[in-house]
């Protein structure tokens, strides 16, 4: 029961942080979804740090990684935004978004892991 409470509380905090960033950062005129890219890359950086610094299956991991970072990052929004870019004839921009998100996410995890050494 304890891990479930920690994940739930952390997830609520992460979702609120994601919402706050979405409120502060606007989508550009061409429809590029900056808020989701920012939270996903930041989340990748933070999970890279966490992977080096935190033991899995601990209270801190459940609350911070599974909860906060799980609630903060969002694959579903990413997928929906790509679909929307394709639907509005911004296919090239959608492909750039896919590439930047995946390559940038992998790079951010590695930077986080290196920074945590």
The mean of the pLDDT values for the chain is 96
93, pLDDT greater than 90: yes
* Element at 3 (helix H, strand E): helix 2-24
* Element at 87 (helix H, strand E): helix 75-87
> Looking at 29-33, 39-43, 80-84, which range is the least confident one?
29-33
Q: Which residue has the tokens 């929307």?
A: 84
24, pLDDT greater than 90: yes
Question: Per the confidence metrics, is the pTM higher than 0.95?
Answer: no
91, pLDDT greater than 90: yes
Nearest partner of 42 among 11, 16, 90, 74, judged by Cα: 74
């Amino acid at each position: 029961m304890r891990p479930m409470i920690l994940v739930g509380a952390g997830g609520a905090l992460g979702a609120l942080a994601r919402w706050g960033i979405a409120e502060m950062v606007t989508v550009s005129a061409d429809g590029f979804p900056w808020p989701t890219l920012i939270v996903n890359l930041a989340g990748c950086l933070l999970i890279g740090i966490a992977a080096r610094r935190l033991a899995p299956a601990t209270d801190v991991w459940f609350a911070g990684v599974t909860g906060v970072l799980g609630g903060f990052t969002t694959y579903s929004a990413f997928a929906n935004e790509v679909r929307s870019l394709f639907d509005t004839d911004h296919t090239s921009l959608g492909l750039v978004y896919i590439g930047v998100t995946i390559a940038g996410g992998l790079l951010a995890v590695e930077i986080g892991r290196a920074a945590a050494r």
